[in-house]
Amino acid sequence: MKSFISIKEFTKNEILEILKRAKELKENPNPELIKDKIAATLFFEPSTRTRLSFTSASFRIGAKVLGFDSPSATSLKKGESLRDTIKMTEGYADVIIMRHLRDGAAKFADDVACVPVINAGDGANEHPSQTLLDLFTIQEEQGRIDNITTAFVGDLKYGRTVHSLARALSKFEGQKFYFVAPEEIQIPDEITHELDAKGIEYKLVSDYKEILKEVDVLYMTRIQKERFEDETLYERMKGVYIISKDTIVGKCKENMIILHPLPRVDEIDIDLDDTKHALYFKQAKNGVPVREAMIGTALGKLSINYKEKEQNEIIKNDERVCTNHNCITAFERTDNKVEVINGRKYCYYCGKEI
């Protein structure tokens, strides 16, 4: 039984093994892998790809699926806590796949549940299943994950897919990152601290054009209106990066790939869709075998050689100590735990530095 909460918990070899299982399932479907198991998809936030591909993945490996796609149709409306929702669901399903609007909600659910939890995106924090399908696509298209130069473009502050992918890539050799964003929505310090500790080469820039020729993977993201506390800031940020045939074709490496977790708004012009660089629809389709592998692994039906990991020091607190307004600790009764990493203190749930 293995939960997937943060990509941080997985070693490079473990990631490669999961990708290998996904490739095997893509090439040799196994409709009986988790026959008679039940997967619960609890989506407290809108989704098209993640929910549908997890559902498709569950069906394709033999599971039945229950769940909801809108919290307004659940007892959350009557005031039920996330804790109680999870305690109920663990009696109805063998694995919980959850998307939630609060940072750290997945970690909290995993603490509460006695079945494995798969994080399908928690607030602005992490999106590990997206990361695994991003890596799967990079490996298939570039033939490697080592020695890749990636430019992350757009909303890097709130972009959970960016946070998870930068963390995952930093486990591989020879990585170089460009974080392309206006200062107000640049990559959070938690991520750059981790990169600094690992000696990863990265640069914060405001214009992708100056670095385009060096890039193997152009990772575009949407400016996420729903995450901005200040609407005027969103109005200033929206439309800041728009790529099109004019700005990309002939100005980048021949084999540069454009990835995007989707949905897109206007940041990738549709005139790029029929170019060899546009991989975002194939990337989304890869979500099915990758999520099959995750569910199979979570339920112990696929074997991965997990390395025993050293546990960081955890401190419990009576009062809330995390200052992140969107952290699950502001909404649920938790142990207000703090994790000590390299002498710095981070919220155990949302990962923000205390």
Of 130 and 175, nearer to ligand CP (C-beta) is: 130
Is 144 among the catalytic positions? no
Of 121 and 296, nearer to ligand CP (C-beta) is: 121
Coil/strand/helix, residue 156:
coil
Active-site hit among 12, 23, 26, 49: 49
The binding site for ligand CP (CB under 6 A) comprises 47-50, 121, 130, 261-263
Active-site hit among 37, 60, 127, 160: 127
Instruction: Please report, as a single letter, which amino acid is at residue 236.
Output: R
> How many residues are present in the chain?
354
Active-site hit among 21, 51, 60, 99: 99
Q: How far is CA 182 from CA 41, 69, 152, 348, 353, in A?
A: 35, 33, 12, 29, 22
Of 130 and 329, nearer to ligand CP (C-beta) is: 130
Q: Give the contacts of 16 (CB within 8 A, at least 6 positions apart).
A: none
Is 83 among the catalytic positions? no
Q: State the nearest-atom distance from the C-beta of 266 to ligand CP, in Å.
A: 17
Q: Could you please report the per-residue DSSP string of 10-26?
A: --HHHHHHHHHHHHHHH
Q: State the nearest-atom distance from the C-beta of 246 to ligand CP, in Å.
A: 26
Active-site hit among 77, 78, 307, 325: 78
Of 262 and 327, nearer to ligand CP (C-beta) is: 262
Q: Which residue in 169, 193, 143, 202 sits closest to 10, CA to CA?
A: 169
Coil/strand/helix, residue 47:
coil
Q: State the nearest-atom distance from the C-beta of 226 to ligand CP, in Å.
A: 11
Of 55 and 170, nearer to ligand CP (C-beta) is: 55
Q: State the nearest-atom distance from the C-beta of 249 to ligand CP, in Å.
A: 25
Active-site hit among 50, 137, 329, 334: 50
Q: Determine whether 327 is exposed, middle or buried from the number of CB atoms within 10 Å of its CB (0-12, 13-18, 19+).
A: buried
Of 49 and 227, nearer to ligand CP (C-beta) is: 49
Is 49 among the catalytic positions? yes
Cα 208 from Cα 215, distance rounded (Å): 10
Is 127 among the catalytic positions? yes
Cα 99 from Cα 116, distance rounded (Å): 14
Q: State the nearest-atom distance from the C-beta of 41 to ligand CP, in Å.
A: 11
Of 35 and 282, nearer to ligand CP (C-beta) is: 282
The pair phi, psi for residue 45, each rounded to 5°, is -135, 150
Coil/strand/helix, residue 219:
strand
Encoded tokens for 37: 């198991």
Cα 291 from Cα 241, distance rounded (Å): 30
Q: State the nearest-atom distance from the C-beta of 50 to ligand CP, in Å.
A: 3
Task: List, in sequence order, every residue forming a beta bridge with 313; answer none if it has no partner.
Answer: 340
Q: State the nearest-atom distance from the C-beta of 254 to ligand CP, in Å.
A: 27
Residue 245 and residue 269 in contact, taking contact as beta carbons nearer than 8 Å: yes
Encoded tokens for 57: 């993945």
Residues classed as catalytic? 49-50, 78, 99, 127
